[in-house]
Amino acid sequence: MAQAVTSASFQKTVLDSKQPVLVDFWAVWCGPCKVLDPIVDELGKSLGDKLGVVKVNVDEEPELSQRFTVMSIPTLILFKDGQPVETVIGVLPKPELEAKIKPYL
């Protein structure tokens, strides 16, 4: 399962990471988030040596949601070298999601 990050750990875990990091903005009550969760976990396992995968609970970390203009969930933001480089809103099949991530690995 992906590591949960907070505003306190976001800088070190995501922005300072040497490898790209996929951030999953989600909430417990979000149905589509539950559909996306196993896909994100699979990506974390299959690309684990090249990609960090973390989760941000939007209800517990509203300042991170605001900072990255997350208007709807699930939202996935891929960070590389501390910058957001790709954003996906909603649920995508694993192959499509993987195709969006691979160019940054």
Does the reported pTM lie above 0.75? Answer: yes
Which domains are assigned to the chain? Answer: 3-100 (3.40.30.10)
From first to last of its 105 residues, what are the pLDDT tens digits of the chain? 688 999 999 999 999 999 999 999 999 999 999 999 999 999 999 998 899 999 999 999 999 999 999 999 999 999 999 999 999 999 999 999 999 999 999
Q: Give the catalytic positions in this structure.
A: 30, 33
C-alpha span between 37 and 24 (Å, rounded): 9
Q: What's the residue count for the chain?
A: 105
Contacts of 65 (CB under 8 A, 6+ apart): 25, 56, 58
72 Cα distance to chain centroid: 13
